[in-house]
């Protein structure tokens, strides 16, 4: 329900993601190999020159594609869960409770957490699997350039709308 509401904020049903190529299925948790793609979420729900906003959903047991983050980003976990993270080689790296608002800055091949310390490094190329019992819902905001004004304004608007629910 909240995700539908957020989509309505922008009055769009989705943005073409042709520039990202095809989403690649990943099963590295079962010993398979995975091709890397740019799908850091399930579907783009808003995009302009400064920001790309993704709807990100994972059912219990479902896995993302093996994807590469090319931008700094923040995410808001609408419906939290436990996520397991895998590296580019398919090895299990760690699991964590995905909840609240988290941000990451791209530094080389790693994602540096913003405002918190984590006990493990987060590679820019990874996949995640929902190992919780419930569906996971997240909104992810990518900052697509040096101008953060529109990025921050879009993020603030969505967070305000969520607080009002």
Which residue do the tokens 């995009």 mark?
47
pTM score of the predicted model? 0.77
pLDDT given at position 9: 36
Q: For 165, what's the count of Cα atoms within 13 Å in the CB-facing half-sphere?
A: 13
Q: Beta-strand (E) ranges in the chain?
A: 36-37, 43-47, 51-58, 66-68, 72-87, 92-107, 110-113, 122-123, 125-130, 136-143
DSSP reduced 3-state for 95: strand
pLDDT recorded at residue 114:
92
What is the CATH number that goes with domain 2-18+26-164? 2.60.120.10
> What's the pLDDT band for 32 if we cut at 50, 70, 90?
confident
**What's the CA gap between 101 and 124, in Å, rounded?**
18
Give residue limits of the domains in the chain.
2-18+26-164
> What is the H or E stretch that residue 7 is in?
helix 2-10
Taking phi over 0 as left and psi of -120 to 50 as alpha, with beta for the rest, 100 belongs to: left
Strands 110-113, 51-58: pairing kind: unpaired
> What are the φ and ψ backbone dihedral angles of 131, each rounded to 5 degrees?
-100, 10
Q: What is the pLDDT of residue 100?
A: 95
Q: Is the pLDDT of residue 2 over 70?
A: no
**146 or 35, higher pLDDT:** 35
Q: What is the pLDDT of residue 146?
A: 59
């Amino acid at each position: 329900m909240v995700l539908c509401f957020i989509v309505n904020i922008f009055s769009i049903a989705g943005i073409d993601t042709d520039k990202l190529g095809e989403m690649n299925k990943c099963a590295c948790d079962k010993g398979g190999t995975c091709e890397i793609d740019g799908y850091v979420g399930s579907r783009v729900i808003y995009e302009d020159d400064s920001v790309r906003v993704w709807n990100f959903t994972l059912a219990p047991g479902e896995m993302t594609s093996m994807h590469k983050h090319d931008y700094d980003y923040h995410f808001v976990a609408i419906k939290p869960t436990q996520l397991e993270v895998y590296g580019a080689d398919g090895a299990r790296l760690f699991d964590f409770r995905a909840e609240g608002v988290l941000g990451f800055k791209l530094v080389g091949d790693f994602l540096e957490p913003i405002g918190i310390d984590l006990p493990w490094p987060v590679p820019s190329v990874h996949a995640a699997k929902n190992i919780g019992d419930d569906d996971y819902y997240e909104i992810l905001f990518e900052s697509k350039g040096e101008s953060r004004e529109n990025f921050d304004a879009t993020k603030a608007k969505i967070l305000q709308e969520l607080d009002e629910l």
